[in-house]
């Protein structure tokens, strides 16, 4: 099983810290009973107990957060900041280290909107539904980019490099300017925000000198209390097509056809090629098809695909912006896709003023893709495995074949997608779990370790991972004896010598963590 280091705060230290925390936020904003611990643990994890926090504290001002980090340092408490804590498949609201205190920022919900420039300055508690309602009440002149689970926080998602479906779907690159509390309680604003009262904080990312925004992304170097985000102006037209392809081998040519269109900018949105189960798992459950354990047989796969008229792979392409430009670009997409002989091609066409369909394509909040966690029924869940690949059909086909064999070897149902970026592909595997099947659950850890090792052998690393695998994935980034990890550890030691903020996040700070645990 994945290892977890229990945090070594003594009960006396924790009791003293709780009294001080209560003086800062009020006892009603402390959550430390068994039910609270369970609520903030990771229900999707292989073993929920590995990441069970001591409790949670929910401040609603920057001053309270500053006081909390100082108390935590004094009593050697580890804090785990979350925005809304809906990071399902990667750990939800749970910390790497059991016994950490969750710093729940979901009560902080202020939104500042610069309508002319299309930017917002958000507090961490602002969810996708909140921001959507806010913009809708103002005429939806700007669209959101939402992930498949829109329960989460706009900032939290961007801070874990979550993605959405529109041209603004690479959320972390739309961040512009942050306000951050460091481990010693210092408040910093990045970029142009370092100028007192600058009107350009949300307009120019870099400021003067080093630009730090990405330093606070997927890291534990600070607690983000505000972040700027660029929004997409409402397009005049949204056109596109949904395509299905029949055979596993169609993947390579499809990638080689889409990649140049994406790099050239004909496609400004990043498409995702998903396999049939990615679509089927939200429409049906496994027990409607078979009671056989192990990976699904080809006959069952064929029956499911037939019923829902699905290809082995499906992809949706979308064009946003001026109608005249979209029409021209659509013709190009149609020509290129027809060369590949898809099973089906379904066009879609929306114009400003038409009713808006609630989908990821229109940046409206959605939750239905989460239904896939119910594929096995009972206590379902999923865990991610997501290596970054080059945009090459042959590389993707090799990755697919290698990984699919591993799924069969470990008796898992293959659910995966190949998600484009501008220059890369991410092979997102959402491994569907059946927590009521102990035999399957015992296979999950060796399965994931095999996948990580297979990817590493090709020089591929993951872009994001579950709490259980943060150290493992960090260790695959091993150039020059892990020089990057050591740099991260040195920054961590300089900024947060007591390991107050999210020890273990992204494998950073293992030196500090071992010292805390009393290990040499
Ligand atoms: P979401 O609700 O959108 O899924 P989360 O709140 O779960 O987002 O955040 C995802 C991860 O990002 C967290 O587990 C944490 O590691 C990090 N994170 C979230 N909010 C903050 C923050 N305000 N400051 C620093 N790190 C954060």
DSSP letter at 387 equals B
- Find the 365 Cα to ligand 1 centroid distance in Å: 18
The 3 state secondary structure assigned to 11-53 is HHHHHHHHHHHHHHHCHHHEECCHHHHHHHCCCCCCCHHHHCC
From first to last of its 520 residues, what are the pLDDT tens digits of the chain? 333 444 578 899 999 999 999 999 999 999 999 999 999 998 777 777 889 999 999 999 999 999 999 999 999 999 999 999 988 888 899 999 999 999 999 999 999 999 999 999 999 999 999 999 999 999 999 999 999 888 999 999 999 999 999 999 999 999 999 999 999 999 999 999 999 999 999 999 999 999 999 999 999 999 999 999 999 999 999 999 999 999 999 999 999 999 999 999 999 999 999 998 888 888 888 888 888 888 889 998 898 899 989 999 999 999 999 999 999 999 999 999 999 999 999 999 999 999 988 889 999 998 877 777 888 887 888 888 999 999 999 999 999 999 999 999 999 999 999 999 999 999 999 898 888 899 999 999 999 999 999 999 999 999 999 999 999 999 999 999 999 999 999 999 999 999 999 999 999 976 455 555 554 3
Residue of the CA atom closest to atom 25 of ligand 1: 223
Strand ranges inside 123-268, DSSP E = 142-143, 175-181, 187-189, 223-230, 232-233, 237-245
**CA pair distance 197, 464, nearest whole angstrom:** 35
- The CATH number that domain 237-468 falls under is 3.40.462.10
Residue of the CA atom closest to atom 9 of ligand 1: 156
Phi, psi of 290 (to 5 degrees): -160, 155
- 226 three-class SS: strand
pLDDT of res. 7: 55
Pick the CATH number of 1-105+477-520 from 3.30.1360.40, 1.10.579.10, 3.40.30.10, 3.30.43.10: 3.30.43.10
pLDDT of res. 166: 96
What residues does each domain of the chain span? 1-105+477-520, 111-233, 237-468
Element (H, E) at 259: helix 251-264
- Locate 310 and state its tokens: 């699905």
Mind telling me the catalytic residues? 90, 463-464
Task: Name, in order, each residue with C-beta under 8 angstroms of 162's C-beta and a sequence gap of 6 or more.
Answer: 147, 152, 171, 172
pLDDT of res. 399: 98
CA angle 144, 145, 150 (to 5 degrees): 95
Same fold, 1-105+477-520 and 237-468: no
- The CATH number that domain 111-233 falls under is 3.30.465.10
Probe ligand 1: pick from 57, 65, 69, 87, max atoms within 8 Å of CB?
87
- Find the 500 Cα to ligand 1 centroid distance in Å: 16
- Find the 423 Cα to ligand 1 centroid distance in Å: 26
Q: Find out whether the beta carbon of 228 lies less than 6 Å from any atom of ligand 1.
A: no
pLDDT of res. 318: 98
pLDDT of res. 48: 75
């Amino acid at each position: 099983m994945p290892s977890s280091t229990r945090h070594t705060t003594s009960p006396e230290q924790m009791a003293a810290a709780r009294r001080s925390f209560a003086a800062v936020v009020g006892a009603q904003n402390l959550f430390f009973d068994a039910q609270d611990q369970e609520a903030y643990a990771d229900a999707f994890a292989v073993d929920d107990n590995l990441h069970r926090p001591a409790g949670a504290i929910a401040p609603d001002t920057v001053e309270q957060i500053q006081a909390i980090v100082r108390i935590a340092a004094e009593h050697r408490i580890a804090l785990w900041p979350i925005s809304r804590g809906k990071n399902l498949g990667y750990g939800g609201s749970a910390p790497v280290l059991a016994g950490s205190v969750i710093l729940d920022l979901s009560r902080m919900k202020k939104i500042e909107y610069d309508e002319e420039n299309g930017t917002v300055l958000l507090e961490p508690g602002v969810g996708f539904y909140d921001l959507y309602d806010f913009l809708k009440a103002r005429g939806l002149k700007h669209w959101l980019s939402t992930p498949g689970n829109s329960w989460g926080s706009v900032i939290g998602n961007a801070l874990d490099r979550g993605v959405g479906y529109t041209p603004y779907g690479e959320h972390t690159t739309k961040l512009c300017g942050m306000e951050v509390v460091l481990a010693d309680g210092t408040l910093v604003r990045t970029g142009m925000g370092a100028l007192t009262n600058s009107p350009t904080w949300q307009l120019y990312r870099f400021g003067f000198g080093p630009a730090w925004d990405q330093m606070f992304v997927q890291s534990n170097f600070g607690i983000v209390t505000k972040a700027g985000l660029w929004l997409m102006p409402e397009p005049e037209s949204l056109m596109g097509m949904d395509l299905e392809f029949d055979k596993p081998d169609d993947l390579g040519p499809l990638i080689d056809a889409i990649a140049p269109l994406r790099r050239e900018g004909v496609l400004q949105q990043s498409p995702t090629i998903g396999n049939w189960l990615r679509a089927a798992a939200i429409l049906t459950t496994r027990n409607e098809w078979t009671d056989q354990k192990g990976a699904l047989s080809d006959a069952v796969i064929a029956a499911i695909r037939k019923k829902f008229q699905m290809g082995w792979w499906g992809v949706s392409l979308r064009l946003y912006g001026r109608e005249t430009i979209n029409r021209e670009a659509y013709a190009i997409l149609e020509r290129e896709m027809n060369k590949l002989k898809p099973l089906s091609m379904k066009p879609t066409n929306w114009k400003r003023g038409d009713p808006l369909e609630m989908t990821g394509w229109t940046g409206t909040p959605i939750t239905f893709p989460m239904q896939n966690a119910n594929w096995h029924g009972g206590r379902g869940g999923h865990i991610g495995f997501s290596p970054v690949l080059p945009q090459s059909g042959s590389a993707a086909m090799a990755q697919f074949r290698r990984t699919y064999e591993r799924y069969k070897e470990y008796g898992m149902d293959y659910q995966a997608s190949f998600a484009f970026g501008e220059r890369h592909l991410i092979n997102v595997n959402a491994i569907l779990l059946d927590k009521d099947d102990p035999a399957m659950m015992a296979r999950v850890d060796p399965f994931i370790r095999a996948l990580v090792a297979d990817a590493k052998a090709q020089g591929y690393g993951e872009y994001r991972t579950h709490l259980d695998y943060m150290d493992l994935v960090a260790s695959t980034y091993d150039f020059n004896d892990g020089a990057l990890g050591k740099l991260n550890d040195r920054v961590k030691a300089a900024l947060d010598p007591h390991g107050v903020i999210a020890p273990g996040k992204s494998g950073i700070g293992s030196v500090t963590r071992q010292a805390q645990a009393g290990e040499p």
